[in-house]
């Protein structure tokens, strides 16, 4: 989840369906996904910060925000060591039947082929169970 202050609400709002902010607060407790899309209307790039794999799943299924052009996992110092760590991803997949007994959810595959998912978002060890492709970066 994200929070911000009313003072960061941008004075000019585009429509009643969303709110434009000039900043958001990231609390360095848990990892988040940064998803970049390229809109089909005006070829503008948007970046969405998603709190977890359920949000990533909903986003990947919807795809109304445009073509996926970037996906990164942002790991705060508490999770990664000394400083923020950015892990580039290549694909979003759906874990239909996780072997650890957790609920089906999305996961992300890094450029190196490492699977990230769960809560808190972390490397998924062992057999992840069946994976269905949802989206690829750049496709």
Place of tokens 């060591």: 81
Cβ neighbour number for residue 30 with a 10 Å cutoff: 18
Q: Give 4-23 pLDDT, tens digit per residue.
A: 788 888 877 777 777 787 78
What is the C-alpha separation between 15 and 27, in angstroms, rounded? Answer: 28
Asked if 70 and 36 touch (Cβ cutoff 8 Å), the reply is yes
Q: Where are the alpha helices (H) located in the chain, listed in sequence order?
A: 53-62, 77-80
The pLDDT tens digits of the residues spanning 123-133 come to 998 888 899 99
Q: Per-domain residue ranges for the chain?
A: 28-136
| pTM of the full structure | 0.81
């Amino acid at each position: 989840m994200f929070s911000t202050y009313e003072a960061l609400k941008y004075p000019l709002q585009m429509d009643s369906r969303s709110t434009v902010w000039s900043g958001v607060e990231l609390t360095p407790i848990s990892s988040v996904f940064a998803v970049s899309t390229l809109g089909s209307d005006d070829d503008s790039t948007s970046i969405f910060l998603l709190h977890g794999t359920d949000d990533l799943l909903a986003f990947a299924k919807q795809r109304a925000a445009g073509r996926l052009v970037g996906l990164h996992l942002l790991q705060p110092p508490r999770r990664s060591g000394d400083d923020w760590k950015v892990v580039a991803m290549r694909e979003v997949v759906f874990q239909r039947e996780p072997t650890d007994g957790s609920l089906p959810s999305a996961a992300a595959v890094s450029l190196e082929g490492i699977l990230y998912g769960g809560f808190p978002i972390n490397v998924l060890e062992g057999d992840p169970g069946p994976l269905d492709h949802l989206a690829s970066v750049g496709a």
